């Protein structure tokens, strides 16, 4: 590699359960309103409209035990989501082939500055300020699909200070895992290292400093964080 005129950015690397090697992140895609009950709670029609996507930055992902409350918001919401990590990609991937592109799964939280998102929605502006801020996507260790298969049925849940707030099932996804990859690959050329956050069930809500968040996806793992 040729020398760089400024220091090159550090690669974003995620731990994989049971492996010494890490998973390198390229891009982070997120699916909006992919559980009917969450679409309803956000005031939308849960019918099967084409899925929509937004992005976070690769370096918004991190593995740690705390979440620093971000600036410029007084309404930061949790959204627990299963995460897919791709080992290969392409354009126009048929749904029947899509799961062969998945390296593994994890779970994460799509933290959202809801007050800023509401403002952006009202003004018809894009969501980056609400979604793509620093530390906005803590994630668990990934688990290879070779070990657990492709989880499409099972509890997805989140507790705040020991109280259950989100209590869904992966089988409630409006767009299923292969369909998410197929649809996304019509819009973008997917590649190894891409991470997809697959949407959140109902029960999203605000957090405050000091809150203890625990969340999990059956068969995939758990994640615990303190809001600092």
- For residue 79, state whether it binds Mn ion (rule: CB under 5 A): yes
Contact of 206 with 112, CB cutoff 8 Å: no
Q: Between β-strands 102-109 and 221-227, what pairing exists: parallel, antiparallel or unpaired?
A: unpaired
- For residue 136, state whether it binds Mn ion (rule: CB under 5 A): no
Q: How far apart are CA 94 and CA 179, in angstroms?
A: 8
Min CB(127)–Mn ion separation in Å:
10
Which stretch, 16-24, 42-50, 97-105, 195-203, contacts Mn ion (CB under 5 A)?
195-203
**Assigned token pair, 216:** 């999990």
Q: How far apart are CA 122 and CA 210, in angstroms?
A: 31
For Mn ion, give the closer residue by CB, 17 or 129. Answer: 129
Q: How far apart are CA 84 and CA 105, in angstroms?
A: 5
* Contact positions with Mn ion (CB under 5 A) in 20-39: none
| Single residue of 93, 110, 116, 194 touching Mn ion by CB under 5 A | 110
Length of the chain: 228
For Mn ion, give the closer residue by CB, 73 or 200. Answer: 200
- For residue 140, state whether it binds Mn ion (rule: CB under 5 A): no
Contact of 138 with 225, CB cutoff 8 Å: yes
For Mn ion, give the closer residue by CB, 16 or 176. Answer: 176
| Single residue of 73, 190, 200, 213 touching Mn ion by CB under 5 A | 200
Contact of 151 with 216, CB cutoff 8 Å: no
Min CB(201)–Mn ion separation in Å:
10
Residues that bind Mn ion (CB under 5 A): 79, 110, 200
């Amino acid at each position: 590699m040729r020398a760089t005129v400024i220091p090159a950015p550090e690669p974003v690397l995620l731990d994989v359960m049971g492996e010494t090697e890490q998973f390198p992140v390229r891009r982070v895609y997120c699916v909006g309103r992919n559980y009917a009950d969450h679409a309803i709670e956000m005031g939308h029609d849960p019918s099967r409209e084409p899925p929509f996507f937004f992005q976070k930055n690769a370096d918004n992902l991190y593995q740690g035990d705390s979440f620093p409350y971000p600036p410029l918001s007084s309404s930061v919401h949790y959204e627990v989501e299963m995460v897919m990590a791709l080992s290969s990609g392409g354009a126009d991937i048929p749904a029947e082939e899509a799961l062969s592109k998945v390296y593994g799964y994890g779970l994460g939280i799509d933290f959202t500055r809801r007050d800023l998102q509401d403002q952006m929605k009202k003004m018809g502006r894009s969501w980056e300020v609400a979604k793509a801020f620093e530390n906005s996507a803590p994630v668990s260790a990934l688990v290879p699909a070779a070990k657990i298969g492709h989880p499409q049925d099972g509890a997805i849940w989140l507790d705040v200070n020991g109280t259950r707030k989100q209590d869904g099932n992966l089988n409630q996804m409006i767009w299923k895992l292969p369909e998410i990859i197929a649809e996304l690959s019509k819009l973008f050329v997917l590649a190894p290292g891409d991470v997809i956050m697959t949407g959140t069930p109902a029960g999203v809500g605000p957090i405050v400093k000091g809150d203890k968040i625990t969340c999990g996806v059956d068969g995939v793992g758990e994640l615990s964080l303190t809001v600092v």
